[in-house]
Structure 1
Amino acid sequence: MPVPQGRGLVARSLLREDAYRAIRDAIVDGTLAPGERLNDSDLVEWLGVSRTPVREALARLEQAGLVQTKPGRYTIVSPLDVRAVRNAHSVTAAMHELAVREALPNLSTAELEAMAEANARFADALRRNDADAATTADDDFHCVLVTASANHAIREVLERYTPVLRRLERLRFSSLSGRASVAQHDQIIALCKAGDVEGAAAATRANWETLAPLIDNLADDDRASDPSATVTPT
């Protein structure tokens, strides 16, 4: 799919972070498809900014594994890579588990209510088969605990690795396989209310582990398309 048409999608005062997020989100939601070439001039016109924030954004996206660059030749949206997804999955699950452990002792009633509200939006989005809204609501649900942990290192790690998973996770939220997450979120909330740190941490990890079958399917697809390929298990 080509870069969306139109000028000045965001304000001229766009910062580097805004450019990064705009391109990242277009990759995650599939607007910019795997393997698609990214031309600086097209991105500049689309976002309505100079080349500098675009190039800085692409450099960050390359570090995050979302784009691949051959200097002087091309920049493309990275295909979904099994090894990268597995690595991101294990790191992300561990960070969310740690966030629960650090957040729960001081979790407020307002934060528990925010989690419940986000899960209600999540359930509604799934009923409407709105994968984008479901992804946003799921982010909001987990973000409550990440914010409450007050651990900036957790947030920085998740900022880098979560987008890799979100590209895959949108497939789950577009199908019936995502419905189980609503009940899992409810369980996490209940365990947090009860002050059960170990239980809430385990339930959170279990929630993120539900991505494992999608990753396995991705590996199977890779093998089917390239019988000579091997995938290192983790």
Structure 2
Amino acid sequence: MPVPKSSMEPSPRKLLRDVVLEKMLAAIQDGTLQAGERLNDDELVAWLGVSRTPIREAIAKLVDFGLVEMEANRYTRVVSPTREQYDDAFQLLFGFAELAARWAVPNLDETAVQQLSKLLDQAREHANAEDRALNDDAGALIAFLVEHSGNELLIKTAEGVVNRAKFVRLQQPEFVFWDVEHGLESFRAAAKARDGEAAGAVIRGMSRAMAEHMAEIRAANADADATA
């Protein structure tokens, strides 16, 4: 009897370089691999249990993301982002978020709106508790909007920006903006109305508020340093 064909879809298998990339990316973003730390091939091989080839391919991607820097015959190391790079990353991240909101929100079905509402509920809960998990909530919200934007180029381009922003925020831990409840509820209303322009305007307003918040903290820190 001939062997019957399987009716099940084969599950996608990740390339080894992608598995290595995920592990290195997570280690950089949670601080296991710290800013300025040199990346040694032999140590990475021992840690990850793979050959040098997928490690080097993953490192090349991390260089593209702006998380690792290389100089031939000198070093490969995790970058040490500056305050200016932090500002650049978040300005671009909010720009992506605004664009994704304008494109995604009008086309959300009821299931997606409910998923979005749960993300907003979680963010509100963490903001009220002044829990730094709010940063992860913001990342999840932006990833949701990008995924539902329907634009493959935006999805692909946003990957590097989102990963860059996750990393640089580790170097500026004081910049957490808690006063987001009004913005979250306004965004919820825009999503229920499928009003992409209103949703984009909410994100633009929250971006402006966060920038003002950072400016106030920096001014206060500068005054404290001047009088110390």
Aligned-residue offset at 1:99: 0.9
Aligned to 2:43: 42
Aligned-residue offset at 1:126: 5.4
Q: What is the TM-score when the length of structure 2 is the normalising length?
A: 0.76
Aligned to 1:142: 142
Aligned to 1:25: 26
Q: Give unpaired runs (5+ residues) of structure 2.
A: 1-13, 223-228
CA distance in 2, matches of 1:194, 1:204: 16
DSSP-derived class of the 1:180 partner: coil
Cα pair distance change 1:209/1:57, threshold 3 Å: farther
Q: Say how many residue pairs are matched.
A: 207
Aligned to 1:68: 69
DSSP-derived class of the 1:84 partner: helix
Paired residues for 1:175-186 under 5 Å: 177-186=176-185
Are 1:97 and 1:201, in contact at CA under 8 Å, matched by a contact in 2? yes
Aligned-residue offset at 1:198: 2.1
Aligned residue identity for 2:144: V
Are 1:187 and 1:203, in contact at CA under 8 Å, matched by a contact in 2? yes
Deviations along 1:36-79, one digit per CA (max 9) or x if unpaired, are: 11111212222222211111111111122111112122111100
Are 2:190 and 2:196, in contact at CA under 8 Å, matched by a contact in 1? yes
CA distance in 1, matches of 2:21, 2:189: 36
Aligned to 1:95: 96
DSSP-derived class of the 1:149 partner: coil
Are 2:124 and 2:184, in contact at CA under 8 Å, matched by a contact in 1? no
Are 1:93 and 1:209, in contact at CA under 8 Å, matched by a contact in 2? no
Aligned residue identity for 1:200: A
Deviations along 1:155-182, one digit per CA (max 9) or x if unpaired, are: 122111122222343577x669442235
Are 1:92 and 1:161, in contact at CA under 8 Å, matched by a contact in 2? yes
Are 1:85 and 1:215, in contact at CA under 8 Å, matched by a contact in 2? no
Are 2:21 and 2:58, in contact at CA under 8 Å, matched by a contact in 1? yes
Pairwise CA RMSD: 3.0
Q: Give unpaired runs (5+ residues) of structure 1.
A: 1-12, 224-234
CA distance in 2, matches of 1:175, 1:192: 30
- Structure label with greater radius of gyration: 2
Cα pair distance change 1:43/1:218, threshold 3 Å: farther
Aligned to 2:8: none
Aligned residue identity for 1:156: K
